[in-house]
Amino acid sequence: SQTIHQWPATLVQPVGSPLSLECTVEGTSNPNLYWYRQAAGRGLQLLFYSVGIGQISSEVPQNLSASRPQDRQFILSSKKLLLSDSGFYLCAWGDTANYGYTFGSGTRLTVV
């Protein structure tokens, strides 16, 4: 069966520090992968999506970047975090069984 892993679950980082969030998928090959962010009390915002290794599309300009070094690995990064980067970050993959999305458990990032 397909599973999606995200870590860490929670993270507290100082302003100006770097960030690396990792997402991996098991049980599927060549998945479409997505990074979403949810600010406190707000809806989900699509940040990046990837249809294959090394292929990244950005939906909004921001302080973040994404990379896909392997087929089932998707990484969200920042060189210098801002306070506004705080939020709940979710990785998702496109489930061809129903053409819906399966989400990971998320990482709650607090920038202090």
Binding site residues, another protein, CB under 8 A = 32, 34, 43-44, 46, 49, 51, 57, 59, 88, 90, 92, 94-96, 98-106, 108
Q: Which is nearer to another protein, 17 or 57 (CB)?
A: 57
Q: Which is nearer to another protein, 17 or 105 (CB)?
A: 105
Q: Compute the least distance from the CB of residue 80 to another protein, in Å.
A: 27
Tally of CB atoms within 10 A around 98: 8
Q: Which is nearer to another protein, 81 or 106 (CB)?
A: 106
- Token digits of residue 48: 């990046």
Q: Compute the least distance from the CB of residue 38 to another protein, in Å.
A: 8
Q: Compute the least distance from the CB of residue 59 to another protein, in Å.
A: 7
CA angle 39, 43, 49 (to 5 degrees): 85
In whole angstroms, give the CA distance from residue 60 to residue 71.
23
- Token digits of residue 36: 């979403």
Q: Compute the least distance from the CB of residue 32 to another protein, in Å.
A: 5
In whole angstroms, give the CA distance from residue 78 to residue 27.
28
Q: Which is nearer to another protein, 35 or 111 (CB)?
A: 35
In whole angstroms, give the CA distance from residue 86 to residue 88.
7
